[in-house]
A = this chain, B = another copy of it.
Amino acid sequence: MTDIKLAEKQVFVQNSALRDAAKTALMEAVASKMAAPNKKEAQHDPLNEVIELLFFAYRDFTSDPDAILADYDFGRAHHRVIHFVGRHPGITVAQLLAILGITKQSLARVLKQLVEEEYVIQKTGTRDRRQRLLHLSNKGEQLERRLSEPQRKRVSKALNQAGPEAIDTFRKTLLALINQEDQATVEKLTGKGSTKGETS
């Protein structure tokens, strides 16, 4: 008696329903249960708190562009490429690989698409003609702005809410979270804009 009536009334609670309701309704459920008095393990370590906050913050932070990307049939991988090429025009493939921390085969897949669809332009290096210096086309720049806008707004809002010293403290903390060896490099990287020194 439990085998034929299902499909009609259950479907609506199936997959994405759980996802979409998740960030709202179901989260409420979580919270309410949470409100119940706990017993033990109230490990109220602020460190653990920060770790969880990082998880949620990053999740939401990346969700903005994800939605936009879907329109273009692109994924996060494309976004990362667009972002770093946009912020560091003239970057080489090797540099991009180093920054992204992925293999060239992985990069190739998305980069190829981006070049074919003319979001990214490859210019042969003049100093070293083996290099392919990467730039955004106008189209690419447009997409970049579209993608970064919600993120900038989100960050801006958050920093404002957190107070005037937040910009500085937040930046300092993030930098200190990065692997020691890379901190100096990243500092230079984010401090500057382009990757020039040569161009075609």
Contacts and interface: CB of A to CB of B under 8 A. Distances in A.
12 contacts: A21-B98, A24-B182, A27-B98, A27-B182, A43-B193, A49-B191, A50-B170, A58-B58, A161-B172, A161-B176, A162-B176, A169-B170
Q: Tell me the dominant secondary structure on chain A's binding face.
A: helix
Given A23-B98, A36-B196, A170-B170, 7 more contacts: A24-B181, A29-B94, A30-B98, A34-B88, A162-B176, A165-B165, A166-B173
Interface of A: 15-16, 18-19, 21-24, 26-31, 33-61, 63, 80, 83, 87-89, 91-92, 94-95, 97-99, 101-105, 148, 151-152, 154-159, 161-163, 165-167, 169-179, 181-182, 184-186, 188-197
Counting every copy of the chain, the complex holds 2
A175 B53 contact: yes
Nearest to A27: B185
B172 A38 contact: no
Given A23-B181, A94-B29, A166-B172, A36 B87 contact: no
B194 A60 contact: no
A42 B194 contact: yes
